[in-house]
């Protein structure tokens, strides 16, 4: 064990002496969480809203004022006919239009009031968000204007937003960024550090030491496990105190699942290092097999249910897909751990398979 600890210290010294590596390991998580949390946003803001209001009563004016006062919509045009509205959409002068029925305030009390939202559906995801925002505001104002003994439910459809009522994109990106960062640091950096020893010929020097090859490999993985844990804590602190993304569920189980995912990523890095001989090859394999699939097929940005069936099958073999899914349940939804047993079981199975295959291949190659 003293020899193993000495090897671990040696790896820490190697990492700390390389300032560029330290910058990547500790700086990249901070940059990415800030970038994805603030710069890359799918929130609806400054939507150009037009109004067609033949009624022009106190209720419609209050709805329009409430929409204009929100940070999501900006009332830019008032139409007098449907033809004007159609022409404005053709010229791309507006993003969305709200149309009220005639005698709106009278029909409101009888349940016959109608509100039509006309939206440019070129971007389906964005148009859906716009409709949801506007519908929520219209429904809220309608309920405020109704007498206490009457219901305004017939004005618009009832919409309830769970887990993220403000529709902040950070709630979606934080679990994905956690999976991406931990995957890249553990798998990519571990594979490169081991391949570097092979490429420079120093692995043979390590193998003549009294320490078994298995402990040499594990000693190289331990520093990245520790640094990944530090990054995990950093991401959680930034998420809670900078991006206002709360940890609704159990913090203990969130960290436990994250440590399991880190172990899976380390095992994957060992596997990559066993099939590559140069750092360039390890970088290419890590980038092609880890970074792009993790970003595109893990559910980090795009919903898996919307993908073709073959891509859904590919996403099933990505560890990040199950980790991101578990983090969203534990961190955002706050569900009990029993509802995450499926994801934990799959990650445990992946860890067992990957570490077995990786160590076995290293054993044959290095002895």
d(CA 286, CA 234): 24
Distance of CA 222 to the CA centre of its chain: 27
Residues 331, 175 contacting (CB under 8 angstroms): yes
Look at the alpha carbons of 81, 87, 91, 95 in this order and tell me if their dihedral is positive or negative.
positive
Domain boundaries, the chain: 1-40+169-361, 47-145
d(CA 214, CA 198): 15
d(CA 18, CA 22): 6
Strand 73-79, strand 115-119: pairing: unpaired
CA-nearest of 245, 265, 268 to 257 is 265
Supply the pLDDT for residue 168.
67
Neighbour count for residue 39 (Cβ, 10 Å): 7
Supply the pLDDT for residue 365.
47
CA dihedral 50, 52, 56, 59 (to 10 degrees): -70
Convert 43-101 into a string of H (helix), E (strand) and C (coil). Answer: CCCCEEEEEECCCCCHHHHHHHHHHHHCCCEEEEEEECCHHHHHHHHHCCCCCEEEEEC
Strand 96-100, strand 115-119: pairing: antiparallel
Decide: helix, strand or coil at residue 41: coil
Q: Could you tell me the fold of the domain covering 47-145?
A: abc type-2 transporter like fold (3.40.1710)
CA-nearest of 192, 366, 186 to 273 is 192
Q: What burial class does residue 10 get, using C-beta atoms within 10 Å of its C-beta: 0-12 exposed, 13-18 middle, 19+ buried? A: middle
> In DSSP terms, which residues pair with 77 in a beta bridge?
50
d(CA 190, CA 227): 12
Q: Distance of CA 246 to CAs 163, 171, 328, Å?
A: 10, 9, 11
CA-nearest of 91, 243, 228, 261 to 171 is 243
Supply the pLDDT for residue 255.
93
Supply the pLDDT for residue 218.
77
In which residue are the tokens 């860890």 written? 351
For the chain, what percentages of helix, strand and coil (3-state, to nearest 5) are there?
70, 5, 25
CA dihedral 318, 324, 330, 333 (to 10 degrees): -130
Phi, psi of 76 (to 5 degrees): -110, -25
For the chain, which ranges sit under pLDDT 70? 18, 20-21, 24-25, 28, 31-44, 92, 111, 121-125, 146-170, 207, 213, 287-288, 303, 305-306, 362-367
Diameter over CA atoms, the chain:
91
d(CA 174, CA 351): 23
pTM greater than 0.85 (yes/no): no
> In the sheet where 115-119 sits, what is the strand order?
73-79, 47-52, 96-100, 115-119
Residues 20, 26 contacting (CB under 8 angstroms): no
């Amino acid at each position: 064990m003293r020899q193993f600890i000495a090897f671990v210290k040696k790896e820490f010294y190697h990492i700390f002496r390389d300032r560029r590596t330290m910058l990547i390991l500790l700086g990249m998580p901070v940059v990415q969480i800030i970038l994805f949390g603030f710069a890359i946003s799918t929130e609806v803001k400054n939507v150009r809203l037009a109004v067609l209001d033949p009624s022009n009563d106190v209720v419609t004016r209050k709805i329009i004022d409430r929409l204009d006062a929100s940070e999501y919509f900006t009332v830019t045009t008032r139409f007098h006919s449907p033809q004007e509205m159609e022409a404005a959409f053709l010229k791309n002068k507006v993003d969305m239009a709200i149309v009220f029925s005639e005698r709106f305030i009278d029909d409101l009390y009888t349940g016959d009031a109608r509100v039509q939202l006309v939206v440019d559906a070129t971007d389906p995801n964005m148009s859906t968000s716009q409709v949801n925002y506007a519908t929520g505001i219209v429904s809220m104002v309608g309920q405020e204007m109704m007498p206490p003994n009457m219901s305004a439910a017939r004005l618009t459809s009832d919409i309830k937003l769970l887990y993220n009522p403000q529709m902040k994109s950070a709630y979606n990106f934080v679990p994905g960024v956690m999976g991406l960062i931990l995957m890249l640091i553990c798998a990519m950096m571990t594979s490169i550090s081991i391949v570097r020893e092979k490429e420079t010929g120093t692995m043979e020097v390590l193998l003549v030491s009294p320490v078994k090859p298995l402990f040499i490999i594990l000693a190289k993985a331990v520093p990245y496990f520790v640094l990944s844990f530090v990054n995990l804590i950093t991401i959680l602190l930034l998420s809670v105190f900078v991006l206002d993304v709360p940890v609704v569920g159990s913090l203990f189980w969130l960290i436990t699942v994250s440590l399991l995912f880190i172990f899976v990523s380390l095992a994957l890095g060992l596997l990559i290092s066993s099939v590559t001989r140069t750092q360039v090859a390890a970088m290419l394999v890590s980038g092609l097999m880890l970074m792009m699939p993790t970003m595109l097929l893990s559910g980090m940005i795009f919903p898996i249910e919307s993908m073709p069936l073959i891509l859904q099958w590919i996403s099933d073999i990505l560890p990040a897909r199950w980790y991101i899914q578990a983090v969203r349940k534990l961190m955002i939804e706050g569900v009990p751990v029993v509802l995450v047993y499926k994801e934990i079981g799959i990650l445990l199975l992946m860890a067992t398979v990957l570490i077995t295959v990786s160590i076995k291949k290293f054993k044959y190659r290095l002895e």
